[in-house]
């Protein structure tokens, strides 16, 4: 599907948080998972800006580990603030998406 980019604004960060909440992971892997999910146009650069932002806002802890397949990986895990932020995100999503579906289904 073409050009969902604008529609992802404000939700992509939440998706990244959700993926991290499933267990320690790193930028490149997050990108792969999002692409598998169906967001085929998501590129690494986008995810790195998000993970850097999460780091800056203190929602994640980081841990650098060597890889056998390439350069060292920077692993992320959610901290308490990140978990709260994720919970807020899903709350907002629930609210917004239900309102939009309500608008869609009205006649």
Residue numbers at the binding site for its own copies (CB under 8 A):
1, 3-11, 15, 18-19, 37-39, 90-93, 95-97, 99-104
In whole angstroms, the minimum distance from the beta carbon of 97 to its own copies comes to 5
Site string for DNA, 62-101 (x = CB under 7 A): -----xxxxxxxxx--------------------------
For the residues of 29-69, what is the DSSP string, one character each?
A: HHHHHHHHHT-TT--HHHHHHHHHHHHHTT-EEEEEE--SS
With beta carbons less than 8 A apart as the criterion, state whether 31 and 43 touch: yes
Return the range that interacts with DNA (CB under 7 A); candidates 47-55, 79-87, 88-96, 97-105.
47-55
Considering only 52, 81, 96, 100, the residue that binds DNA (CB under 7 A) is 52
Return the range that interacts with DNA (CB under 7 A); candidates 20-28, 78-86, 95-103.
20-28
3-state secondary structure of 83: helix
Q: Which does 26 bind (CB under 5 to 8 A by kind): DNA, its own copies, none?
A: DNA
Query: For the sheet containing 25-26, what is the strand order?
Result: 25-26, 73-78, 60-65
Report CA torsion sign: 9, 14, 18, 19. positive
């Amino acid at each position: 599907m073409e050009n969902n980019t604008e529609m992802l604004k404000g939700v992509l960060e939440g998706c990244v948080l959700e993926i991290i909440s499933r267990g320690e992971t790193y930028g490149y892997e997050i990108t792969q998972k999002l692409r598998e999910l169906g967001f085929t146009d998501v590129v690494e650069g986008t995810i790195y800006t998000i993970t850097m932002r999460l780091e800056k806002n203190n929602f994640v802890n980081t841990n650098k580990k060597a890889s056998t397949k390439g350069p060292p990986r920077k692993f992320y895990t959610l901290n308490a603030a990140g978990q709260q932020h994720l919970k807020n995100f899903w709350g907002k999503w629930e609210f917004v998406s239900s309102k939009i579906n309500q608008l869609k289904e009205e006649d």
